Amino acid sequence: MRPILLKGHERSITVVKFNFDGDLLFTASKDHIPSVWRNENGERIGTFNGHKGTIWDLDVCRFSKRVVTASADASAKLWDCETGECIKTFVHHGPVRGAAWADGSNMFATISDPFVEHNAQISVYDVPENDDPSSYSDSPRLEIDLPKTSDGKRVNATNIVWLNLNEALFVTFDNGSIRLYDPATGEELDEFYPHEKKINRVSFNSDKTLFITSSADFTAKLYDVVDLKHLKTYKTDRPVNDAVISETKDHILLGGGQEAMSVTTTSGKVGKFETRFFHLVYEEEFGSVKGHFGPINALAINPNGRSYASGAEDGYIRLHYFDKSYLDMKDPVPEVLEEGEEDDDEMEDRESDSDSD
């Protein structure tokens, strides 16, 4: 596998994301400056300058015309993707943790952390593409307050995604829960607990029929979007920071590693900072790709299934192009035994029993 090392950030990577067509890679880190790279050769095309804090999340619209970024400087910014100019800044009460475009790219939603007397919030902003940016409102069309739980604990949102046709806002939390909200009224539609610990990241396949959650409880879980049914669990021996679903194969890519604060006490080998490949159906790990010197914080797979990017605590992004052997690889399918046929293992067991007799 041929990786290209993308070195354009000075601090640890927080998010990597391909656009819809898969020809551009958007990255952000704790150094305040998101970047955009060309997928085919790893060339940096440009940066988005203006934030004064860590960029926790970003999202690019369907046709790669506008980008929205979420920052710890308590603002979300809307950018022109072609020129890199800031179209508008949306000020929040606390650090902004996530941002996501709605279908149609005429509105986006953000999640922000609690700050002083302000609760955590989900905000929805209207930004019609054909309207003059000066007409965009500074205040959100909808604000959903996220008050403390009954036992007085603050619950912080970690990710936000719009479901198909903007039917609901899908929000993950640091207590292991997922909630669905009505984007028109702000009413809570559903709540369930896939994990016991913080959900670090959630990612969907391209048609949003499946989603996979990555958690600090050492597991990633695959769910059906329609009925929120739990399908598969992928177990590891370290916190999972991100997981993505391959578009062209029945494979899952997992990234993680021990917590950043304890990295210096162990070697790279012990820290296990590789990308791990699991079979989507059989939940078995069948390969891994090493290379990073710190926990992998973010993963993204190209919509065409031919490359993937990983960003880690070491400040590097590794852009990997899959070998032909991987692309042509056929997944093993368990044979269905005809009536009267015996499994090879059963036959061997029977032969060994007869030998011992």
Q: Which residues pair with residue 58 across a beta bridge?
A: 69
Residues 27-49, mean pLDDT to the nearest whole number: 96
Rounded to the nearest integer, the mean pLDDT of the chain is 91
Alpha carbons 180 and 167: distance in angstroms, whole number:
10
Query: Sheet containing 96-101: which strands, arranged edge to edge?
Result: 96-101, 107-112, 120-126, 142-146
Residue 340, pLDDT > 60, answer: no
Residue 204, pLDDT > 60, answer: yes
Which range among 2-6, 77-81, 143-147, 149-153 shows the weakest confidence by mean pLDDT?
A: 149-153
Unique residue bearing structure tokens 């600090």: 216
3-class state of residue 208 by DSSP:
coil
Cβ count near 44 (within 10 Å): 14
Q: Is the dihedral of CA 102, 302, 173, 164 positive or negative?
A: positive
3-class state of residue 279 by DSSP:
strand
pTM for the predicted model, two decimal places: 0.90
What pLDDT digit, counting tens, does each position of 307-324 carry? 999 999 999 999 999 999
Residues 121-132, mean pLDDT to the nearest whole number: 95
Residue 356, pLDDT > 70, answer: no
Which range among 194-208, 234-248, 323-337 shows the weakest confidence by mean pLDDT?
A: 323-337
pLDDT band at 74 (very low <50, low <70, confident <90, very high): very high
Alpha carbons 98 and 108: distance in angstroms, whole number:
10
The separation between CA 58 and the C-alpha centre of its own chain, rounded to angstroms, equals 11
Where do runs of H (alpha helix) occur along the chain?
268-271, 324-327, 344-356
Residue 346, pLDDT > 60, answer: no
DSSP classification of residue 73: T
Over pLDDT 90: what percentage of the chain? 80
pLDDT band at 265 (very low <50, low <70, confident <90, very high): low
What pLDDT digit, counting tens, does each position of 101-118 carry? 999 999 999 999 998 888
